[in-house]
């Protein structure tokens, strides 16, 4: 899937006192299977850009297309279906349900997918194996380390075989050894043909990405 942003802008609370121009004039074309890092100081618009790319929010200016289709013009349920089938998210705080098992957490995206309940077990096992967490299937998430939680969150993001995975500071809460493990897993995801887009402050990522994008006051420049 080719993702293309043309002259994209995002203004929060337009016309009000608290108006914020978070992004302006963003032109960006992302090819299938690219590994892209986005850097920038706090408040520069990184998460806003990621949410727009992930069709979690709509731009106030410009257009975003996925293989030439504009998702903003689809009906709500078609948009949700598109996101569930094509886009995986990974967050700094894992966004797992802490008091449930790894297995229960991994089932959630499958309920909204094309897969049938009798296929869930195999898919969950396959994804857990990919992130090296097979033996933790029945473990409560709250009893895992941060690095282990992020591996489970990555398995969840990959559950429906997305064409792109969007990561917002995925190693922001991790020690350097766990960060390196997550980086290696993301590189493996890329090797399998998935597009990987990572917002990060972690300089280690810079050396492994295909492209590094720097964002400053809502404007992007590539380096």
Ligand X SMILES: Nc1ncnc2c1ncn2[C@@H]1O[C@H](COP(=O)(O)OP(=O)(O)OP(=O)(O)O)[C@@H](O)[C@H]1O
Polymer length in residues for the chain:
223
Which range binds ligand X by CB under 6 A, 1-9, 40-48, 97-105, 155-163?
40-48
Question: Does residue number 59 form part of the binding site for ligand X (CB under 6 A)?
Answer: no
Q: Which does 48 bind (CB under 5 to 8 A by kind): ligand X, Mg ion, none?
A: ligand X
Question: Does residue number 46 form part of the binding site for ligand X (CB under 6 A)?
Answer: yes
Question: Does residue number 95 form part of the binding site for ligand X (CB under 6 A)?
Answer: no
Looking at beta carbons only, is 54 or 109 nearer to ligand X? 54
Question: Does residue number 98 form part of the binding site for ligand X (CB under 6 A)?
Answer: no
Question: Are 11 and 57 spatial neighbours (Cβ–Cβ below 8 Å)?
Answer: no
One of 8, 45, 156, 159 touching ligand X (CB under 6 A): 45
Cα(11)–Cα(115) distance, integer angstroms: 38
Residue with tokens 């857990």: 128
Across the chain, the runs of DSSP E, i.e. the strands, are: 3-12, 20-30, 35-39, 61-66, 69-70, 87-91, 164-168, 195-199, 211-216, 219-222
Structure tokens at 182: 């997550």
Q: Which residues pair with 199 in a beta bridge?
A: 38, 168
One of 42, 77, 118, 207 touching ligand X (CB under 6 A): 42
One of 48, 105, 171, 209 touching ligand X (CB under 6 A): 48
Structure tokens at 207: 């050396």
Nearest approach, Cβ of residue 168 and Mg ion (Å): 6
Contacts to ligand X by CB under 6 A: 12-13, 20, 22, 40, 42-48
């Amino acid at each position: 899937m080719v993702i293309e942003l043309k002259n994209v802008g995002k203004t929060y609370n337009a016309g009000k006192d608290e108006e914020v121009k978070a992004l302006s004039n963003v032109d960006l074309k992302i090819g299938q299977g690219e590994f892209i890092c986005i850097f920038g100081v706090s408040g520069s618009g990184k998460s806003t850009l990621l949410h727009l790319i992930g069709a979690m929010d709509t731009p106030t200016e410009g257009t975003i297309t996925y293989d030439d289709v504009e998702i903003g013009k689809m009906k709500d349920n078609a948009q949700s279906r598109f996101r569930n089938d094509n886009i995986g998210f990974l967050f700094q705080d894992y966004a797992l349900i802490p008091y449930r098992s790894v297995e229960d957490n991994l089932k959630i995206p499958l309920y909204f997918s094309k897969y049938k309940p009798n296929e869930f077990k195999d898919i969950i096992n396959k994804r857990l194996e990919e992130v090296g967490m097979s033996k933790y299937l029945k473990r409560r998430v709250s009893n895992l380390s941060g690095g282990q939680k992020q591996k489970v969150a990555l398995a969840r993001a990959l559950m429906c075989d997305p064409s792109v995975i969007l990561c917002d500071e995925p190693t922001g809460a991790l020690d350097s050894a766990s960060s390196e493990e997550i980086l290696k897993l993301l590189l493996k995801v890329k090797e399998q043909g998935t597009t990987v887009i990572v917002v990060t402050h972690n300089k280690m990522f810079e050396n492994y990405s295909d492209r590094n994008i720097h964002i400053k006051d809502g404007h992007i420049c590539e380096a």
